[in-house]
Structure 1
Amino acid sequence: MTPRSIRAVGALAAALLTAALLTPAPAQAAPVEAVTAAVALAPPDVNVENTKAHLQQFQTIATNNGGTRASGTNGYDASAAYVQQKLTAAGFSVTLQPCTSCNGSDPNVIADWPGGAANSTVMLGAHLDSVRAGAGINDNGSGSAALLEAALTLASRNPTMLKHVRFAWWADEESGLRGSQFYVSRSGTAGISAYLNFDMVGSTNAGYFLTNLNSTLTASLKGHFDAIGVPTETMTECCSDDGPFRNAGVATTFLSTGASARKTAAQVQKWGGTAGVAYDSCYHSSCDRYPGNINVTAIDRAGDAIARAIWVLAVDDTGTPPSGFTIAVSPTSGSAQPGTSVQATVSTQTVSGSPQTVTFSSGGAPANATVQFSPSAVTSGGSSQMQITLGNSPAGTYPITVTGTGTSGARTATYTLTVVSAGACANYNNRFNDSLTGTGNTDYMPPPTGSYQTTVSGRHAGCLDGPAGVDFDLYLQKLNGSTWTNVAQSTGSGPDETLTYDGTAGTYRYRVYAYSGSGAYQLGFNRP
């Protein structure tokens, strides 16, 4: 959100703002119809875990590019490429519009979903850039991520469209709304009946603010908050990318959870939080990072409100929708060292029409890694296990795109893989990663059964590599009848342990114990 010298408006200014918002659209644009009381095709839930994965990717991009995603930097370019890739894979027609008045001539990302009346286009936008001081995760990775996941949800549901829908991720908002102003001046607003803007929708001390609160257009968003019992207030902070459209005569609305203004005691009664503290205490600061500066509840609500607005304003709520399915990955992220593997579940769901065969593929894995799906295809409603096996893969963070392809098109989800450098157990033949959640916690290894068998006598060698600052212990146990007995142990005062044992054939297991502390560890072992 771009700051202005006047942070709050009085009654007269509010009245003028409301009048401006009610300015009718140009004659060539069809008016916004009244919002119906019920929508036959219910608006979908927008998966907040996927939204969080987008935020993590924006943070990773910033971290890898000097801590920023500001226009004119590689961080912005990488953010635009990420959004473009996700939308293209989902079936959108995506245009990168170079903004020659923006820093670095950075592009606006414009995405059109096929179908619907083009002379009555509903447009939704969020600025993609950050300030140079930080990663811009709430301002405005939150709006960008929520809008992106709402767009991908539209693609996965694939409803029949009454109106055309266009999405935009704007460049260089932080320098004065340059990206959106460029679009309006160059592309025009002909056929655009409404513009909905999303800026800072995950504030940690969140309020819920909308412009033009009593308008028909705003009701498409407000209806979601009304339905879940969350009050809304008129926006009093300024300014964002709805401005150029409003000034061009397009009906607009703008959702935000607040910037640098302070929450009042009365608002705490409505929304919770802390009185006298800014809605976003990291506004335009280096601490605007993920996950620390995101309110997951707020961004979840915003994503669902965006979906409701799309369905209310643009979706045909009559007849039978075409077949559609969704795809999701759980967990959405993981870490592993070279020579090890991680797993996740890829699930599908039939959301409209008949079930269909969905075939899985992936892209974006690091070098010397393989991604396998078991099974490689399912009927929508089913799930598959994804295993990522690392060879001598370079350390880094990799967003792996998981694609499910069916008769209705392709759907994608993202799994964020972090490859960490091999540690103290790198030279052991068998290595497994896990974590202990707190003092007194125990794991039995190796997975999946928590034990292993040997048929010959020989040497067992174990290695535990834990995080700094903890005291983890390692035990080797052998099964004697129905009792597990310690046959070797290493119980030093630090995070790392090694042991050896010369034993006979039998069933063995490693016990990893948190004497104090918590965190991720790697177990390495050799067996006869």
Structure 2
Amino acid sequence: MTGRTLTTAVALAVGVALTVPPVGLAAASAPARTVVAAPPTALAAPDIAVSNVQAHLTQFQTIATGNGGHRRAGSAGHTASVAYVRAKLQAAGYTVTEQTCTSCVYRSNNLIAEWPAGPADQVVMFGAHLDGVSAGPGINDNASGSAVLLENALALAAQRPATITKRVRFAWWTDEEQGLNGSKFYVNSLSATQRGYLKGYYNFDMVGSTNGGYFINRLTSTTAAPLKAYWDSLGIGPEENVEGQGRSDDYPFQQAGIPTSGYAAGASARKTSAQAAKWGGAAGSSYDPCYHRSCDTTGNISATHLNRSADGVAYAIWQLAVGSGTPGACVGGQLVGNSSFESGTTPWTGTTGVITSSTSRPARTGSYKAWLGGNGRTGTETLSQSVTLPTDCASYTLELHLRIDTAETTTSRVYDRLTVTLGGATLATYSNLNAGSGYVARTFDVAAYAGQTVTLTLTATEDASLQTSFVVDDVTLQAG
């Protein structure tokens, strides 16, 4: 993970069976309570052998030792690391390309590998930075994420699933430590159409920290659901990756409007007492005591964190792109991202200023809500979000809380409207005739969209005079 702090631009001025590690690989202290050791059984994801992941780490350590002690972007150590990963992927049958980053601080290559199956316009992408700092071999930061992805890619190739529902793409980024430059270059090289093909990007940066935690990027988002479901099945209780926000390669994707998530075990921030009680380890100490130091070697790895991350990635790949066709393969929960509008605009898109904390129309919860209309002049305002509904759940319920205030005096004629659509189909239309006091819950059965990625859209239209405000808050889509 880059040590440079990047400020996130926020619009609106707001915001597994566990394996005993071999000698030289330290496991994290065990939590005081018992956790469930078995992975979810609904999907036939492979159990990733942590020993195979550790073997890749040993290779990266050997590469660093033979090339000046590090694998910094542009160095011989980084070039050799790229060659090692590329050879493994090509032998497994991947379509592999190297992309030269001409805008990087150290001119060097990204490595992109794609499994040649599944629809080319439906892509899920998994990435990790392969470079390290010049101070040491960079085994946790970030050979750990790189090795986890490499072994998952090899496991997918070995399984050769008969059915692939989405194209699976892997990436190993360069020049992350100098400011996320490799991933920025890649995202900027994509056309608008190519960006639209990317249905999710998953980032893995420092997943073997010896005093680590269990962190997920955008924990409550739809994109994070499979990663969270796996760790929830182990009783881990993951938390939001606050330390890593804006500091790793998911950030350029997020800024481009592509849904993102990922795992992390933590860097230089210190573990709290509550986290130590939940996960084990030392309170008050850094998650990774060798962060950006020469001691970031194969001895600086928790095999437990490494194993749980590797198996969680496999579960996500199978959930998102493979599946088993087994009835009951439901990864449910809350599917709408930023459902209460408290976290800026992402992943919502639409008319600027619709998400607001204006006190003239209070939010139902928190400070922010979506306020469409209310202008008293002819116009249209929209707000939308792409949502992926899992398969084989028992129920799918969309709910939004709507407050309608109007200056119209008629009790019989419609002048202003709010339309709720999902996947292009109209679920409901509300108007000035539905005005009342306070928020009213509106619910819809959307089981017809199971297994689909659809767009939820709110559209408000007003006529030439007398405003009607459609204020929406706490939008959820629960699958279970």
- TM-score (normalizing by structure 2): 0.59
State whether structure 2 residue 195 is matched by structure 1 residue 193.
no
State whether structure 2 residue 309 is matched by structure 1 residue 302.
yes
CA RMSD of aligned residues (A): 2.3
User: Deviations for 1:199-240, whole angstroms, at most 9, x for unmatched residues?
Assistant: 000000010011211112101111111111111001111310
State whether structure 2 residue 300 is matched by structure 1 residue 293.
yes
State whether structure 2 residue 229 is matched by structure 1 residue 223.
yes
1:68-467 → structure 2 map (5 Å cutoff) = 68-159=70-161, 160-188=163-191, 189-238=195-244, 239-290=247-298, 292-318=299-325
Q: Distance in 2 between matches of 1:40 and 1:229?
A: 17
User: Deviations for 1:259-314, whole angstroms, at most 9, x for unmatched residues?
Assistant: 00000111011100001100001001111011x10001100000000001100111
Change (3 A) 1:60 1:44: same
Q: Distance in 2 between matches of 1:60 and 1:169?
A: 19
1:55-66 → structure 2 map (5 Å cutoff) = 55-66=57-68
Contact 1:58-1:79 within 8 A present in 2 as well: yes
The alignment of Structure 1 onto Structure 2 pairs a total of residues equal to 296
User: Deviations for 1:66-91, whole angstroms, at most 9, x for unmatched residues?
Assistant: 00000010000000000000000111
Letter of the 1:151 counterpart = A
Cα shift at 1:52? 0.3
Cα shift at 1:254? 2.3
Q: Distance in 2 between matches of 1:151 and 1:183?
A: 20
Contact 1:120-1:163 within 8 A present in 2 as well: yes
Aligned to 2:3: 3
Contact 1:197-1:253 within 8 A present in 2 as well: yes
1:51 aligned to which of 42, 50, 53 = 53
Q: Distance in 1 between matches of 2:319 and 2:233?
A: 14
Q: Distance in 1 between matches of 2:44 and 2:231?
A: 15
Change (3 A) 1:38 1:206: closer
Higher relative contact order structure (alpha carbons within 8 Å, sequence separation ≥ 6): 2
Q: What SS does the aligned partner of 2:134 have?
A: coil
Aligned to 2:429: none
Letter of the 2:55 counterpart = A
Q: What SS does the aligned partner of 1:255 have?
A: strand
Q: Distance in 2 between matches of 1:260 and 1:13?
A: 31
Cα shift at 1:190? 3.4
Contact 1:39-1:312 within 8 A present in 2 as well: no
Q: Distance in 2 between matches of 1:124 and 1:318?
A: 23
User: Deviations for 1:41-100, whole angstroms, at most 9, x for unmatched residues?
Assistant: 411111111100000000000000000000010000000000000000111000011111
Aligned to 1:400: none
Q: Distance in 1 between matches of 2:290 and 2:268?
A: 8
Change (3 A) 1:113 1:198: same
Q: Distance in 2 between matches of 1:13 and 1:82?
A: 45
Cα shift at 1:6? 8.0
1:4-43 → structure 2 map (5 Å cutoff) = 4-5=4-5, 16=15, 41-43=43-45
1:507-518 → structure 2 map (5 Å cutoff) = none
- TM-score (normalizing by structure 1): 0.54
Contact 1:127-1:171 within 8 A present in 2 as well: yes
Contact 1:129-1:140 within 8 A present in 2 as well: yes
Q: What SS does the aligned partner of 2:72 have?
A: coil
Change (3 A) 1:69 1:38: closer
Change (3 A) 1:69 1:114: same
Change (3 A) 1:214 1:66: same
Q: Distance in 1 between matches of 2:155 and 2:64?
A: 25
Q: Distance in 2 between matches of 1:150 and 1:269?
A: 31
Unpaired stretches in structure 1, ≥5 consecutive residues:
17-36, 320-528
The structure whose Rg is larger is 1
Cα shift at 1:101? 1.4
Change (3 A) 1:172 1:256: same
Q: Distance in 2 between matches of 1:14 and 1:125?
A: 30
User: Deviations for 1:393-445, whole angstroms, at most 9, x for unmatched residues?
Assistant: xxxxxxxxxxxxxxxxxxxxxxxxxxxxxxxxxxxxxxxxxxxxxxxxxxxxx
Letter of the 1:111 counterpart = A
Q: Distance in 2 between matches of 1:123 and 1:224?
A: 18
Change (3 A) 1:15 1:261: farther
Contact 1:213-1:234 within 8 A present in 2 as well: yes
Q: Distance in 1 between matches of 2:212 and 2:14?
A: 25
Contact 2:227-2:262 within 8 A present in 1 as well: no
Which consecutive segments of 4 or more residues in structure 1 shift more than 6 A?
A: 12-15
Change (3 A) 1:6 1:127: closer
Cα shift at 1:109? 0.5
Q: Distance in 1 between matches of 2:14 and 2:158?
A: 41
Unpaired stretches in structure 2, ≥5 consecutive residues:
16-38, 327-480
Contact 1:39-1:317 within 8 A present in 2 as well: no
Q: What SS does the aligned partner of 2:120 have?
A: strand
Q: Distance in 2 between matches of 1:91 and 1:5?
A: 38
Contact 2:43-2:315 within 8 A present in 1 as well: no
User: Deviations for 1:182-207, whole angstroms, at most 9, x for unmatched residues?
Assistant: 00111342311100000000000010
